[in-house]
Structure 1
Amino acid sequence: MLANTLELVSAARRCGIAVAAFNTYSLELTQAIVQAAEQLNQPVILQLGVASMKAGGEPLVKATVIAAQRASIPVAVHLDHCAERGMIEQCLAWGCSSALADGSHLSFAENVSLARDAVRMATAHQATIEAELGYLAGMEDGVTVEALRASLTDPEQAGEFVAATGVSMLAVAIGNVHGYTPQPPPLDFDLLARIAARVDVPLTLHGASGLGKESIQRAIALGVAKINVNTEVRTAFLSAIAAWGQRFGPTPDLRKKGQDWFDLMREAIAAAQVVVAEHIRTAGMLET
């Protein structure tokens, strides 16, 4: 069933757990995420990035929304990391439950303006807005210790930002990064605690790929109620496709068992599903 993102995240926060959110790029990856959540009987968030939006447009969004509607567990659909007001409004109109109005690369005042505008749009669609304060570096950014320190969320600014914008969720930068790094980045849990003390909305931890169960669950205990995972799931999906290609070579024989499209997709879906399930268990504090 299609769910309200804020309701899912707020319920998780009250229970001292988090909702896992996974980026999807196709019906097959959506299937892997939803099936894993259904098997564990846990809610989940399907996320669409800007690149996916530009590639798939309305058909991809509506297919994702329909998949959420038909799921046996609560599923929210979220537009991830978008700085374009028009795209945010369009995705909410197409049925997305929420959006991240990402002004983290802007000045504080410009970030506030974007988030306020997004909140107004969301109100008209009974949707939710997440915002980000502090800059989350990515693996392509050449992450350094100095860059991470300069990008961290300021607790006092966080309180001011939430009050000024009315956003319902706040993505924080506490040393986490997007994508893989050679070593898992050390998270500043003291900073996270100080941020949580300044704001009264659920916090989001982006870049959960590679952080490890212990770090993620410690962050959840300090107020994080939504964790974002992308790289690990995408890598598992693509690695399964690569392994299939190595096994059957550059020219599959469709007359032979195991070499058709559906065989390939079953393997990729199964591989992604394992990683999704692992993160859902971590977020939900479930026994493995």
Structure 2
Amino acid sequence: VAWNLLQFCKAKGFALPSFNCTTSSSCNAVLEAAAKIGMPAYIQFSEGGAAFFAGKGLPNEKGKLQASILGACAGAHYVRNVAPAYGIPVLVHSDHCAKKLLPWFDGMLEADEAFFKEHGEPLFSSHMLDLSEEPHEENVSICAKYFTRMAKMDQILEMEIGITGGVEDGVDNSGVAKDKLYSTPEDTELVWKTLSPISPMFTIAAAFGNVHGVYKPGNVKLQPELLDSFQKNLGPKVGYERPFFFVFHGGSGSEKHHIHSAVDYGVVKMNVDTDTQWAYWEGLLNFYKAKSGYLQGQIGNPEGEDKPNKSYYDPRKWVRCSEESMRDRCIEGFKDLKAPAP
């Protein structure tokens, strides 16, 4: 079903935003947005976000990453359990897994295989391996090893070739040489030749100047036309147009015309994290600004020194404001990617 959705996106000329989540609250914001606009939801967990989902008080030892495994699987189960009530299809994904984080990937795959044995489908719709900092041959060969295992469950692999700049979830690529931020036709062709004999169900986060985070206009030099050149390089060799399914990393803060061009050139998924983090915070910030007189103590507010404030500091009140703000930013994300009107 997940791959069919991505094929449909590509055929119809739109893409799905994939939102990083760290709590059930942020998951709910994404689900609510998708239900409002009548679109499938794509929810993803990073290694750090997954550990946070399980609880920062849990051990998460280097080489084991047990809290990250637990949190990602708990998040996937949570989304699977509540999504039917929202009445929309939902894809669950794990975000950037660098080489040092492979124990996390191993743990999630074990959970996938156990779930597949019982239910006939993996727990996660897709996983991302980000070995872009390794030599290309090593990157692609490790991807092939894991993809062979994933293909038995009809699971999608997202891989990265070329580096996404900026900083995200503790990974700092802000000092990477500029030429590393752009993939080449040879890079993407290597991926195709290695992975396509295993299964067609893979996507490529090819680099076209992408940077995680939000920066001043002009500081990020996106070249989405590179994606078109990759398609045109491979298309005649395999006998059909636009063979690649691309993923747009570092979507937050990108200009609309760059997003639309990327979709035209085969992007079917775009990651959004920084913008929704800000939206979640801004919902709380605006609540505090509006109600600050009621949030200085448990008792005493502008209506009287003996008036209680419980209805203002109840987490359900201010967390909901964060959810509503994030929900609205998620809806904007769907529209940016040329989602069909409901």
The TM-score with structure 1 as length reference comes to: 0.89
Amino acid of the structure 2 residue aligned with 1:26: T
* 1:151 matches 2:181: yes
Tell whether the 8 Å contact from 2:295 to 2:309 is kept in structure 1 after alignment.
no
* 1:194 matches 2:191: no
SS in 2 for 1:103: coil
Report deviation, 1:256.
3.7
Which region of structure 1 is more displaced relative to structure 2, 129-138 or 257-266? 257-266
* 1:284 matches 2:284: no
Aligned equivalent of 2:12, options 7, 10, 15: 15
Amino acid of the structure 2 residue aligned with 1:229: V
- Alignment-derived partner of residue 222 in structure 1: 265
Structure 1 residues 48 and 251, CA gap change in structure 2 (3 angstroms): farther
- Alignment-derived partner of residue 206 in structure 1: 249
Which region of structure 1 is more displaced relative to structure 2, 128-137 or 174-183? 174-183
CA distance in 1, matches of 2:34, 2:331: 7
Which region of structure 1 is more displaced relative to structure 2, 240-249 or 4-13? 240-249
* 1:87 matches 2:141: no
CA distance in 2, matches of 1:287, 1:183: 29
Tell whether the 8 Å contact from 1:68 to 1:77 is kept in structure 2 after alignment.
no
Structure 1 residues 67 and 111, CA gap change in structure 2 (3 angstroms): farther
* 1:269 matches 2:269: no
Structure 1 residues 257 and 165, CA gap change in structure 2 (3 angstroms): same
Tell whether the 8 Å contact from 2:126 to 2:157 is kept in structure 1 after alignment.
yes
Amino acid of the structure 1 residue aligned with 2:267: V
Q: Deviations over 1:139-190 (max 9, x none)?
A: 475747x833332111112111122134610001101111111225231133
Structure 1 residues 159 and 250, CA gap change in structure 2 (3 angstroms): farther
Q: Which has the higher contact order (CA 8 A, sep 6+)?
A: 1
Structure 1 residues 8 and 287, CA gap change in structure 2 (3 angstroms): closer
Count how many residue pairs are aligned between Structure 1 and Structure 2: 284
Tell whether the 8 Å contact from 1:232 to 1:275 is kept in structure 2 after alignment.
yes
Amino acid of the structure 2 residue aligned with 1:278: E
Identity of aligned residues (%): 24
CA distance in 2, matches of 1:242, 1:28: 17
* Higher Rg of the two aligned structures: 2
SS in 2 for 1:78: strand
> Structure 1 regions of 5+ residues with no counterpart?
none
SS in 1 for 2:95: strand
* 1:104 matches 2:132: yes
Aligned equivalent of 1:231, options 274, 288, 306: 274
Tell whether the 8 Å contact from 2:214 to 2:274 is kept in structure 1 after alignment.
yes
Structure 1 residues 130 and 235, CA gap change in structure 2 (3 angstroms): same
The TM-score with structure 2 as length reference comes to: 0.76
Structure 1 residues 27 and 133, CA gap change in structure 2 (3 angstroms): same
CA distance in 1, matches of 2:222, 2:30: 27
Structure 1 residues 256 and 127, CA gap change in structure 2 (3 angstroms): same
Structure 1 residues 86 and 17, CA gap change in structure 2 (3 angstroms): same
> Structure 2 regions of 5+ residues with no counterpart?
55-70, 116-122, 235-242, 300-307
Aligned-residue Cα RMSD (Å) equals 2.4
Tell whether the 8 Å contact from 1:45 to 1:75 is kept in structure 2 after alignment.
yes
